[in-house]
Chains A and B, each alone.
Chain A
Amino acid sequence: MRTLRFLLRKEFRQIFRDKSIVALIFFMPMVQLILMPLAADYEVRNINLSVVDHDKSPYSQKLIAKIIASGYFRLTGYNASFKEAFGLIESDKADLILEIPHNFERNLIREDHEKLFVAVNAINGTKASLGGSYLGSIIGDFNADIRMQLVTTPRFSQFPVIEVVASNWFNPLLNYKFFIVPGILAILVTMVGGFLTALNIVREKEIGTIEQINVTPIKKHIFILGKLIPFWVLANVVFTIGLIVARFVYGIVPEGSLLTLYAFISVYLLAVLGFGLLISTFCDTQQQAMFIMFFFMMLFILLGGLFTSIDSMPDWAKLITRFNPVRYMIEVMRMVILKGSSFNDILPHLGIVGLMAVVLNGWAILNYKKTN
């Protein structure tokens, strides 16, 4: 125990002596947490729309006005022909073309139906699909409006209509920040903990200090604990800073108990740090460790359910996410912070992550050889 205490003291001394590491640990998460949610916005705005209006009737004007008034679109072209408008798409000045045919108003009133043509630039997939569906729903809305005006509605509609009204639970205003901030915090904590531990032992190997340690009677598990605990503490500090930023910058107050959250993060960090340690036992240089860590981090983040929903992944990808600790962390963050889940609700997650912690750390201890 005495040895462990001194190992820890040495480790903390080294960490705080390296000013760039301290800055990295404290400022990087704060800056990222403040910048990223503002930029990583799921909503698509400022879609450039070009209209080819062959009708030039009050109705077509009304439709265009309604579209622009939605706030999602920007009228960047008002062209006489589709060909002209297509030129705008080619020069990337328009994302969507709406073509209104001749006699749009007349046909709509006389024949009760008319077709519009929408062409979408699908180079940016998200913008294309969202823009297309926004436009579709605005046009549908417009359609309903004019039916209200035109048709002297009988008291009971001849056609049964199902109207769907959705209500959003846990995030009533669909504020994407509520959704993304806890996820980004989860990833930040993972990165800080994982990278620092992975690089730390490898650094001792590179400098050669590990040789000196290896000839001492220090026990393997004491040495590994000495490496694990400092970064566990630091990652917890980063997590706390993140929660404070979330509270005061985004007004996110966890619905569930903080105790539950910290209980989970404590175990989760053991798994992440164990993973970092394991990688460090396989690597001889910081470069190797960095690249391997980066490879896994990319996988963890992209398959973690932050940017893309796990439910919409193919089955094989879903299977991979089961082995991804970040996935459980993001889920628990959202469960506890947004939904107010209790400790019992996250028990399955805790169990899996706990198992990962045991396996990864055990493997790391086995694989760390004092003798070659």
Chain B
Amino acid sequence: MEAVVVKNLTKTYGKEQTVAVDDVSFSVNQGELFGLIGPDGAGKTSIFRMLTTLLLPDGGSASVDGHDIVKDFRAIRSSVGYMPGKFSLYQDLTIEENLHFFATVFGTTIEENYHLIKDIYVQIEPFKSRRAGKLSGGMKQKLALCCALIHQPTTLFLDEPTTGVDPVSRKEFWEMLKRLKEQNITILVSTPYMDEASLCDRIALIQGGKILSIDKPDNIVNGYPDTLLAVKADQMYRLLKVLEKHPDMLNSYAFGEYAHAVFANGQMQPEALESYLHAHGLSGVEVLAARATIEDSFIKLLH
């Protein structure tokens, strides 16, 4: 069953008609963990705000749990959980008060749905009488997730939940999402981090308001058509310059401690590239055949 269906959704802003979301269509299955992956300004937040009925679309349609986002906005508001990118709980209320407040607003109690948030809540429970404004970034995220879950939503919208959170908390956060998925909650998550993409069931790569590709992370990676080589040398800056001049090269970019060089499929062997680089006076050269990541696929799609 499809929990979220988006058809030709369009949103433009301002007099200049800046297109934020451009004819976007996708669907998310019940109980799926779906990722919207894209850089800042790609239109992720606009899509989320439309799906959570905070923003009216300029074109197209969408539904959440079979409710139209324009006509049945009331039904959607009581059945979805939304966690905005910016921390937006009451900073002057304590953890407990915030949670209690949001439970009441949805006409439920903490006790009723405690099983949903238990795993997460126990981590912040020791600080429950501390004001939300005084919490660390990771704890704020956990509290926000608890508040978004407390009314047992059918669909959860998480807008960049891990931005500005340390790597350990990020990892924990994704583990929590996996556990929630087991409760059959549909989760839509957006993130600018490509490494998080592989943790989703399916992802949509989005850029400039357009969806570039929708598939399982593995399929996207396996579908990478070109030969990818990871290159390292003592002089990284010169290495990038030299790579750029190679006649057969399709693309090259820095990637962690390596540089990634892309060649048409089967057109280049690591040894050949190594000797080419030696010939250009680079020392400490190391060339490996690399497996493409989501990031490589994304860069490929952008070109």
Chain A interfacial positions (CB closer than 8 Å to B): 2-3, 6-7, 10, 13-14, 17-18, 207-218, 370-372
The answer to whether B102 and A372 touch across the interface, beta carbons within 8 angstroms, is no
In-complex Cβ contact of A212 among B74, B89, B92 (8 A):
B89
* Chain A hits for B67, CB < 8 A: none
Decide: A215 and B90 in contact? CB cutoff 8 A.
no
**Chain B 57-106 interface residues, beta-carbon cutoff 8 Å to A:** 73-74, 77-78, 80, 82, 84, 86-93, 97, 101-102, 104-106
Is there an interface contact between B78 and A217, defined as CB atoms closer than 8 Å?
Answer: yes
Closest 9 pairs (CB-CB, A-B): A208-B88, A217-B78, A6-B104, A215-B82, A216-B105, A208-B86, A212-B88, A217-B77, A211-B84
A214 touching B106, Cβ below 8 Å: no
Measured between C-beta atoms, what is the minimum distance from A17 to chain B in Å? 5
Residue in A2, A212, A217, A218 with the greatest tally of chain B CB atoms within 10 Å? A212
| In the complex, residue of chain B having the shortest beta-carbon distance to the beta carbon of A208 | B88
Contact of B82 among A2, A17, A212 (CB under 8 A): A212
A335 to B243, CA, bound (A): 89
Contact (Cβ within 8 A) B56 A216: no
Any chain A CB within 8 A of the CB of B231?
no
A-B contacts besides A6-B105, A17-B93, A218-B105, 11 pairs, CB < 8 Å: A6-B101, A18-B92, A208-B86, A209-B89, A211-B88, A212-B88, A215-B54, A215-B82, A217-B78, A217-B107, A370-B54
Are the CB atoms of A14 and B90 closer together than 8 Å? Answer: yes
Bound form: Cα–Cα A13–B105 in Å: 16
Tell me whether B89 and A217 are in contact (CB under 8 A): no
Among A2, A210, A213, A216, max chain B CB count under 10 A is at A216
Is B190 located at the chain interface by the 8 A CB criterion? no
Within the complex, what minimum Cβ distance (angstroms) separates B303 from chain A?
35
Provide the residues of chain A in CB contact with B88, threshold 8 Å.
207-212
**A212 and B102 contact, CB distance less than 8 A:** yes
Cβ–Cβ < 8 Å partners of A217 in chain B: 74, 77-78, 105-107
Taking CB atoms, residues of chain A closer than 8 Å to B105 are 3, 6-7, 213, 216-218
Q: How far is the CB of A138 from chain B (nearest CB, A)?
A: 62
A6 to B55, alpha carbons, bound, how many Å?
A: 27
Q: Does B147 sit at the interface, judged by CB under 8 A? A: yes
Is B52 an interface residue, CB under 8 A from the partner?
yes
Partner of A371, one of B56, B82, B93: B56
The residue in B52, B80, B102, B104 that gathers the most chain A C-beta atoms within 10 A of its C-beta is: B104
CB distance from B301 to the nearest CB of A (A): 31
Contact yes or no, B80 A17, CB < 8 A: no
B169 near A: Cβ within 8 Å?
no
Alpha-carbon separation in the docked complex, A140 to B209 (Å): 87
Residue ID in chain A nearest B83 by CB atoms: A212
Number of inter-chain CB pairs below 8 Å: 73
Among candidates A3, A14, A211, A371, residue contacting B104 with C-beta atoms closer than 8 Å: A3
Contacts of B80 in A (CB 8 A): 215
Q: Does B53 lie at the interface of the complex (its beta carbon under 8 Å from any beta carbon of A)?
A: yes
Residue of A nearest to B74 (CB): A217
Q: Is the CB of B54 within 8 A of A371?
A: yes
Q: How large is the interface on B (under 10, 10 to 19, 20 to 34, 35 or more residues)?
A: 20 to 34
Subset of 13 A-B contacts with CB under 8 Å: A2-B104, A3-B104, A3-B107, A6-B101, A7-B105, A10-B90, A14-B92, A17-B92, A18-B92, A208-B88, A212-B89, A215-B80, A216-B78
The A-contacting residues of B in range 184-232, CB under 8 angstroms, are: none
Q: Please, which residues of chain B bring their CB within 8 A of the CB of A207?
A: 88, 90-91
In the complex, what distance in Å separates the CA atom of A372 from the CA atom of B102?
Answer: 22
Interface contact B84-A13, CB-CB below 8 Å: no
Contact status B54-A211, CB under 8 Å: yes
Chain A residues whose CB sits within 8 angstroms of the CB of B93 once the complex forms = 10, 13-14, 17
Q: Give every chain A residue within 8 A of B106 (Cβ-Cβ).
A: 216-217
The answer to whether A208 and B84 have CB atoms under 8 Å apart is yes
Are the CB atoms of A371 and B77 closer together than 8 Å? no
Q: How far is the CA of A17 from the CA of B117 in the complex (A)?
A: 27
Give min CB distance, A310 to chain B, whole Å: 42
**Contact status B74-A214, CB under 8 Å:** no
Q: Which residues of A contact B86 (CB under 8 A)?
A: 208, 211
Q: Which residues of B contact A215 (CB under 8 A)?
A: 52-54, 77, 80, 82
Complex Cα distance, B53 from A13, in Å, reads: 29
Task: List, in ascending order, chain B residues with CB within 8 A of A6's CB.
Answer: 101, 104-105
Give every chain B residue within 8 A of A13 (Cβ-Cβ): 93, 97
- A3-B105, A3-B107, A17-B92 known; A212+B147 contact, CB < 8 A: yes
Instruction: Provide the residues of chain B in CB contact with A370, threshold 8 Å.
Output: 53-54
Cα of A104 to Cα of B131 in the assembled complex, Å: 82
- Residues of chain A within 8 A (CB-CB) of B78 are 216-217
A105 CB to closest chain B CB, in angstroms?
Answer: 78
| Interchain nearest-CB distance for B53 vs A (Å) | 6
B54 touches A214 (CB 8 A): yes
Taken together as a complex, chains A and B put the C-alpha atoms of A3 and B101 apart, in Å, by 9
Provided the pairs A217-B74, A217-B77, A371-B54 are in contact, do residues A10 and B101 lie with their beta carbons within 8 angstroms? yes
In the bound complex, do residue B77 and residue A372 qualify as a contact, i.e. CB atoms below 8 Å apart? no
Q: Is A372 a contact partner of B56 (Cβ separation < 8 A)?
A: yes
* B156 → chain A closest CB, angstroms: 11
B53 lies within 8 A of A371 (CB) = yes
A7 to B90, CA, bound (A): 12
Closest Cβ of chain B to A362, distance in Å, is 21
Contacts of A208 in B (CB 8 A): 84, 86-88
Instruction: Kindly list chain B residues whose C-beta atoms are within 8 Å of the C-beta of A212.
Output: 82, 84, 88-89, 102, 147
1/0 contact string of B138-182 vs chain A (CB within 8 Å): 000000000100000000000000000000000000000000000
CB-CB under 8 A from B87, the residues of chain A are: 208
Closest-by-CB residue of B relative to A3 is B105
Of residues A3, A207, A210, which shows the largest number of chain B Cβ atoms within 10 Å of its Cβ?
A207
Question: How far does the alpha carbon of A273 sit from the alpha carbon of B34 in the complex, in Å?
Answer: 45
For the complex, give the distance between the alpha carbons of A18 and B133 in Å: 13
Using an 8 Å CB-CB cutoff, how does the interface string of B102-127 with A read, 1 for contact, 0 for none?
Answer: 10111100000000000000000000
The CA of A293 and the CA of B285, in the complex, are separated in Å by 68
Q: Which residue of A lies closest to B56 (CB)?
A: A371
